Amino acid sequence: MEKPWLQHYPAGVPANINPDAYACVTEMLDECFVKYKDRPAFYFMGKMLTFKQVDQMSRNFGAYLRTRGLEPGDRVALMMPNIMQYPIAMFGALRAGLILVNTNPLYTPREMRHQFVDSGAKAIIIAENFAHNLEQIIGETQIKTVVLTSIGEMLGLKGAVVNFVIRKVKKMVPKYNLQNTICFTDAINQGKKFTIPKYESGPDDVIALQYTGGTTGVAKDLWRLAGLTC
C-alpha cells in the first residue's frame, strides 16, 4: 500500500512506531517531561509554559484530585475550550489513574446530563462560561468535585484584562451558583502538599471515554482508549 503522506513528514519523524516501547502512556509522558524540560510545551495568548512547568503542575493537580477521594478508574469530565489549563488537567488526571471524559463546551444541559450520567463522571474541570449549564443538572449526576477555571486564570496580569472583557464586556459568563467549588490554580497549589499514591495499572487499562458529537441523536461512547498509567 502506498503511503503518499509520508513525504510530508518532517525530518526525524518515523513512519512507524513501536507500540511496546512504553508500558503505558504516562511512562512516555514522564520521559518527554525530562527530555524536553527546558523547551516550550504550550503557548496561549502570549503565555508560555515549559515541559518542566507542565510536569510539576500536572503532578500537583493529579495529587489534588486524589485527595478529593477519587480513585484510579474514576471518571473525570473536562469541559473547556483550548486553554492552558486543559493539558495540565488532562496530564494530571492521567497520572492519577483517572479516566478522561472529554465534553464538548457547546453542550446543552440535556446533553451534559446524558454524558455525565452515562460515563459515571465523579468530577469535572469546567470553564466558568459553562457553569450555569452544569448548575442545572449536577444534582442528577455523580459529580461531587467541581474545579472551576476562567479563560484568563493562568495569564497573570493580562488574565485580569481578559476576564474583565469576557465577563463584563462580552458578557460570556452567565450567572451561576455552584457550591463547594475550587478554582484551578488553588487546586494546583493545594496539590503541592501531596503526592500521587502508587497504584496497580496495565497497558489494557482505559484512559479516556471519547463520545460522538451527538448531532443525529444522543452522544455515544465511541472509543475506549487504552494505555493507562504507571
Condensed to tens digits (0 to 9), the pLDDT of residues 129-170 reads 999 999 999 999 999 999 999 999 999 999 999 999 999 999
Q: Provide the number of structural domains found in the chain.
A: 1
Residue 17: predicted pLDDT? 87
204 pLDDT band, cuts 50/70/90, is confident
In a domain, 168, yes or no: yes
Condensed to tens digits (0 to 9), the pLDDT of residues 64-87 reads 999 999 999 999 999 999 999 999
Mean pLDDT of the chain: 93
Q: What is the mean pLDDT of residues 105-114?
A: 95
Pull the grid cell for residue 105.
463546551
In a domain, 12, yes or no: no
In a domain, 26, yes or no: yes
Q: What are phi and psi of 41, to 5 degrees?
A: -105, -45
Pull the grid cell for residue 129.
462560561
Whether 120 has a pLDDT exceeding 50, the answer reads yes
Residue 132: predicted pLDDT? 98
Beta carbons within 8 Å of 201's beta carbon, 6+ residues apart: 24, 72, 97, 228, 229, 230
CATH code, domain carrying 109: 3.40.50.980
Whether 229 has a pLDDT exceeding 50, the answer reads no
Considering just the CA atoms, what is the radius of gyration of the chain in Å? 18
Range in 66-80, 116-130, 181-195, 197-211 the model is least confident about:
197-211
Q: What is the pTM of this model?
A: 0.90
Domain of 29?
A: 21-212+221-226
In a domain, 33, yes or no: yes
In a domain, 6, yes or no: no
Q: What is the DSSP string of 100-151?
A: EEE--TT--HHHHHHHHHHHTEEEEEEEGGGHHHHHHHGGGS---EEEEE-T
Whether 35 has a pLDDT exceeding 60, the answer reads yes
In a domain, 11, yes or no: no
Report percent pLDDT > 70 for the chain: 93
User: b/e map of 3-32 (b: 16 or more CB within 10 Å)?
Assistant: eeeeeeeeeeeeeeeeeeebebbbeebbee
